[in-house]
Amino acid sequence: MLNIIGLCGSLRKDSYNRKLLLTIQSLLSNKVQFEIVEIGDLPLFNQDIELNPPETVIAFRKKVGSADGILFATPEYNYSVSAVLKNAIEWGSRPYGKAVLNSKSAAVIGASTGMLGTSRAQYHLRQICVQVNIYMMNGPEVMVPFEAKKFDETGKLIDEATMEKLQKFTTAFMAWVEKMKP
């Protein structure tokens, strides 16, 4: 059984990035356990409390620590990842030498209103993951532009091309996680 967690960089109730995560969840086999781990309640990272953090951080680190793979769904905020997602990564990257994100396999997807579909944010995230020593899957990439046209009012993905991409991505990501498993 693979244990995969999803981290969504948007806290918006109707977030398209969350919808992407839920679509991927629907594509997973029953040999995969998947949970979207909430990051909106994490306090702002403060190094003064990194060794003695509040319960929300302890719970977050525990879930990340026991995951076989991490699926990031990032919006693009001002050409980068959201502060919310970066904050979660900060918590997972400390304390030095004991980071729960260290050596995790991961992949990234993203949806945005613009035509580049979070490509700038995804490349920022990849850069961040180098420092954190996360093993990011190189491809296939999933960048969903003009997101509002891809889902119906109920949140269901209705764009066939995007669905095909997500299917290929999901298969590749599961293989990546298996391959990188210690």
92 part of the interface to ligand FMN, by CB under 6 A: no
Shortest Cβ 118–ligand FMN spacing (Å): 7
Find the binding residues for ligand FMN in span 21-50 (CB under 6 A): none
Give the whole-angstrom CA distance, residue 12 versus residue 112: 13
162 part of the interface to ligand FMN, by CB under 6 A: no
Shortest Cβ 75–ligand FMN spacing (Å): 3
16 part of the interface to ligand FMN, by CB under 6 A: yes
Whole-angstrom CA distances from 83 to 5, 62, 74, 76, 107 are 19, 21, 11, 10, 19
Using the minimum distance from each CB to ligand FMN, give the nearer residue, 36 or 180: 36
Give the whole-angstrom CA distance, residue 125 versus residue 142: 14
**In one letter, which amino acid is 55?**
E
Question: Looking only at Cα atoms, what is the longest distance across the chain?
Answer: 48
Binding site for ligand FMN (CB under 6 A): 10, 12, 15-17, 75-79, 112-114, 147
